[in-house]
Amino acid sequence: MKIRIVILSLVMLVAAATISYASRPEIIPIRQPLNELSFHFAGWNGMRSSDLDQRTQDILGVDDYINRVYYQGNSLPVSLYIGYHASQRTGTSIHSPLNCMPGSGWIPVKNERVSIPVHNGAEVIEVNRIVIQKGEASQVVLYWYQSQGRAIASEYSGKIHTVISAMRNNRTDAALIRIVSHG
């Protein structure tokens, strides 16, 4: 009988500790608003694109975003979208552009991963590169997920990283970064 009471007490203590650990408030780091990102990068000059309508913002569930177009000389313009989620615990999560593009009429015709040097070539990140087409028009899309100092190309790896980070660091903040060439 004493063994049963001890085992039951231990199970209850473990359950209480688990519930206490899981219900602690999420850590949301202090950061600069995305609209403070420079409009000038290595000879590229940016300007704001139109704001996303409220319905789109609600669907995306972002806490902050920028939507810009950058130009450099006679080069074709490049658009930059960054959507930041402070927390992915409340039912909102970053979803793949592969879900949105077909919904707006763009069909992915080529999908691959490419490596891009960053920090003056000192580091390389892997990103998704998708060629999309709508009628005769085509565009190249680069996108990845940025989460707590990591660039993550895979949607599945991104979800796994979010779960591990939630358990280990009590954080689920992340951003989707998408660059589209207009051509």
Amino acid at 137: A
Q: What is the mean pLDDT of the chain?
A: 85
Judge whether residue 23 has pLDDT over 70.
Answer: no
Judge whether residue 20 has pLDDT over 70.
Answer: no
At 110-124, the pLDDT tens digits run 999 999 998 777 899
DSSP labels for 51-115?
PPPHHHHHHHT-SEEEEEEEE-TTSPPEEEEEEEES-SSSS-----HHHHHHHTT-EEEEEEEEE
Percent of the chain whose predicted confidence (pLDDT) is above 70: 91
Global pTM?
0.81
At 24-77, the pLDDT tens digits run 666 666 678 999 999 998 899 999 988 888 888 887 888 899 999 999 988 889
Structure tokens at 91: 């039912």
Percent of the chain whose predicted confidence (pLDDT) is above 90: 36
Structure tokens at 155: 């949607």
Greater confidence (14 vs 174) lies with: 174
In whole angstroms, give the CA distance from residue 171 to residue 183. 38
Amino acid at 182: H
